[in-house]
Amino acid sequence: MNVERLNPDGIVSISASVTTGMEDVAATEVKSKILNTSDKHAVTAKQGRVYFKATKKSLSDLHSLRSVDRLYLVIHTVENYVYPESKVAAEEDLSKLASSIDWDSVTQFWRYNLPYLKARSRQEDLGKKPSKKRKVKESAHDVLAGDNSTDDDESGNPMNGSHKHDDIPIEMTALPIVESKAPISFRVSTNRVGKNQPITSPEASYKFGGKIQDITNWKVDLTGYNLEVLLCLGLNSLEVTLALTLQSLHRRNITHFGITTLRPTTAYNMLQLCDIQPGDVVIDPMCGTGAIPIEGALEWPNNFYIAGDIVKAAAKRCRCNVEFLDENVMFGRKFIDKTNRKNLLLDTIRWDTTNLPLKSSSADVIVSDLPFGKRVGSKVDNRKLYPAILQEMARVTRPETGRACLLTQDKRTIIRALSALNQFWTVRKTLSVNIGGLTAGVFLLKRTKNSVQRPHIDEHNSAD
């Protein structure tokens, strides 16, 4: 097998997982923050992944990306691979592949990455539910979308959203950094695309991992590992990568969870689509635990955010998340405007989105994750709810410049509602995204120039 040598001190290939359907949004962030280019060929998008070149100097910036979940160093790729018919021959190929890789260079890059490598929590390792004690408690419904980590969803993207809840904990307190002097303990995780391979994922991990151990003398530890090699058996390709993150980058911001807490990475991508400008008033009128406005207030800090929800417990959870960040994260954080602000510019409120206590044309951007009609509400309810909220959202956003980015799995209902309200909203872009195994839609909307009146509020305002 012809293997291109990995040069850990030179240019390397990086791959990052992202919510499937949001690859182009992640590519935009990578191009502006890592590559400093607008060249559209600088980042390649594949389902649930983006690929680009970087150097070890970019490691700190890579780990600060907001749109992606996991980072990998691409060690080797075999394109146009034809699987042999027998399992024995396939195992032989994997042994040859492992022997042809320069594991010293892989180790060197792993060491460069060590300062950024946060240890996995023990429960993540074991794939267990959090104990009652450890969980930051709010209600019996509080669960966290989890991640079994090796096991990407069908997109190759581990834990692609939080409408799927695997009940695995998050740790908001900084996780220990992997000990730099610790001996390497590793695991191989195999992901198989399709079923054409003559070898199963565990068999491939066993064979490939066994060969790596023969070559490197690394200790195998399937749960307490500090180095993870991923082997992807594609339809007609093989890919070997080194995990640069042991826990997903979406594990941030939220300490008080709800049943449909959205990943902050997905929230970031929705916000990024709205092209938020300094001073914009940004509203999530159905905020749940506040994943969207919190991510906004942290990443676009020179704006005012309003987070509202009809359910008291949800608004309270959102408030608790904001307070936790104010007390634990904001201290000393320097913002773009050079202030040393100690709190997020975010207010939470309990309200009904069909009847908002706001002046017409008073908001610039609405970003929201609507009830899908599965865990929250029902598809029947949505038929009434969606037209009512879209009308009210149109009223409070500024004609011509107002934007909205809405996520829902109930695409049929939102499309019908939008076509009935096309005098107020134009659909700029739709993305089909994978949210925890559900195919959902992201709808990027722009306000038309037509204003919407709501008599009792607008008449009162004009009388002032």
Ligand X SMILES: C[S@@+](CC[C@H](N)C(=O)[O-])C[C@H]1O[C@@H](n2cnc3c(N)ncnc32)[C@H](O)[C@@H]1O
Binding footprint of ligand X on the chain (CB under 6 A)? 258, 260-262, 285-289, 291-292, 309-311, 314, 352-354, 369, 371, 376-377
Q: Give the shortest CB-228-to-ligand X separation in angstroms.
A: 28
Characterize the bridge pairing of strands 49-54 and 44-46. Answer: antiparallel
Q: Which is nearer to ligand X, 68 or 291 (CB)?
A: 291
Q: Which is nearer to ligand X, 156 or 371 (CB)?
A: 371
**3-state SS track over 208-261:** HHHHHHHHHCCEECCCCCCEEEEEEECCCCEEEEEECCCCCCCCCCCCCCCCCC
Residue 401: name the closest of 373, 429, 364, 433 by CA: 364
Q: Which residue has the tokens 């990568």?
A: 241
Residue 298: name the closest of 328, 259, 257, 256 by CA: 328
Q: Which is nearer to ligand X, 234 or 290 (CB)?
A: 290
Q: Give the shortest CB-372-to-ligand X separation in angstroms.
A: 6
Q: Give the shortest CB-89-to-ligand X separation in angstroms.
A: 48
Q: Give the shortest CB-277-to-ligand X separation in angstroms.
A: 23
Q: Give the shortest CB-147-to-ligand X separation in angstroms.
A: 16
d(CA 301, CA 342): 11
Q: Which is nearer to ligand X, 8 or 161 (CB)?
A: 161
**Sequence-distant (≥ 6) Cβ neighbours of residue 382 within 8 angstroms:** 370, 371, 373, 408, 410, 413
Q: Which long-range contacts (CB under 8 A, 24 or more apart) does 343-346 make?
A: 344/294, 344/297, 344/298, 344/301, 344/305, 345/297, 345/301, 345/303, 345/304, 345/305, 346/290, 346/293, 346/294, 346/297, 346/304, 346/305, 346/306, 346/307, 346/322
Closest chain position to ligand X (CB): 288
Q: Give the shortest CB-352-to-ligand X separation in angstroms.
A: 5
Q: Give the shortest CB-356-to-ligand X separation in angstroms.
A: 9
Q: Which is nearer to ligand X, 241 or 353 (CB)?
A: 353
Q: Which is nearer to ligand X, 185 or 354 (CB)?
A: 354
Q: Which is nearer to ligand X, 98 or 274 (CB)?
A: 274
Q: Provide the residue count of the chain.
A: 464
Q: How many CB atoms lie within 10 A of CB 251?
A: 26
Q: Which is nearer to ligand X, 34 or 445 (CB)?
A: 445
Q: Give the shortest CB-354-to-ligand X separation in angstroms.
A: 5
Structure tokens at 176: 């220990």
> What are the phi and psi torsion angles at 338 (to 5°)?
70, 5
Q: Which is nearer to ligand X, 68 or 314 (CB)?
A: 314
Characterize the bridge pairing of strands 70-78 and 304-309. Answer: unpaired
CB-based burial label for 52 (10 Å; 0-12, 13-18, 19+): buried
Q: Which is nearer to ligand X, 371 or 402 (CB)?
A: 371
Q: Output the CA torsion sign for 150, 152, 156, 159.
A: negative
- DSSP per residue over 41-72, as a string? TSSEEETTEEEEEE-GGGHHHHHT-SS-SEEE
**304 beta partners:** 281
Q: Give the shortest CB-435-to-ligand X separation in angstroms.
A: 10
Characterize the bridge pairing of strands 185-192 and 227-233. Answer: parallel
Characterize the bridge pairing of strands 185-192 and 70-78. Answer: unpaired
Q: Give the shortest CB-258-to-ligand X separation in angstroms.
A: 5
Q: Give the shortest CB-22-to-ligand X separation in angstroms.
A: 15
Q: Which is nearer to ligand X, 84 or 377 (CB)?
A: 377
Amino acid at 429: K
Q: Which is nearer to ligand X, 200 or 354 (CB)?
A: 354
Q: Give the shortest CB-452-to-ligand X separation in angstroms.
A: 17
